A and B are shown apart, each in its own frame.
Chain A
Amino acid sequence: EDKVVQSPLSLVVHEGDTVTLNCSYEVTNFRSLLWYKQEKKAPTFLFMLTSSGIEKKSGRLSSILDKKELFSILNITATQTGDSAIYLCAVEYRDKIIFGKGTRLHILP
């Protein structure tokens, strides 16, 4: 069965900490892995990863994909209260896209 599993499901840290969010997947005909941030309603796009070992960075956020071990991580350094959100991982395969349940991240001031 095709699936995407994210861990942890929830995480509470203090401002300034570094966090690592995990996403593992089992799909056939993998095309890409995507990370989104969801605060209230619409998820906002963070990264799209298609190749192993190439880190993508955007400010304090970075992500990398391992296609051999079938997982990706999303790192957030020097966290801020504005980083509090649900982080969603999604995998595109064939003509479908499957999302994980998300990691709910809460940053304490």
Chain B
Amino acid sequence: DAGVTQSPTHLIKTRGQHVTLRCSPISGHKSVSWYQQVLGQGPQFIFQYYEKEERGRGNFPDRFSARQFPNYSSELNVNALLLGDSALYLCASSIPVVNEQFFGPGTRLTVL
């Protein structure tokens, strides 16, 4: 069975650019959450989507946005990148909402 997949695995951008990260949940999972993990810290909650609607939002600026598609895959968009946005971005899927989340391998974003 395929687990949660994320693309790309690595990404290098420069300040001011925007980035789109993609996540495909486990088949049958309708909830997707996004997290940012910087070195030495635990993952920080960014968004949660369930049935294509935003169900939760962490303390991140409006430069961060996300959406969920009819097939339950999701995109995380970050505009006007800052050096501090360099991190591992993790996606997790679950049924039902939040409980027992399964994480993808993450996208390593480096902002130069």
Contact = CB atoms under 8 A, between A and B. Distances in A.
Contacts, number: 62
Interface string B75-100: 00000000000001010000001111
Interface residues of A, number: 24
A96 B44 contact: no
Contacts of B98: 31-32, 92, 95, 97
- Which one of A88, A97, A100 has the greatest number of beta carbons of chain B within 10 Å? A97
Chain A at the B interface: SS class: strand
Interface of A: 4, 6, 31-32, 34, 36, 41-45, 48, 88, 90, 92, 94-102
26 contacts: A6-B42, A31-B98, A32-B98, A34-B100, A34-B101, A42-B4, A42-B90, A42-B103, A42-B106, A43-B90, A43-B103, A45-B100, A48-B100, A88-B42, A90-B43, A94-B56, A95-B56, A95-B97, A96-B45, A96-B56, A96-B58, A98-B45, A99-B35, A99-B42, A99-B43, A101-B42
Interface of B: 4, 33, 35, 40-45, 48, 55-58, 88, 90, 97-106
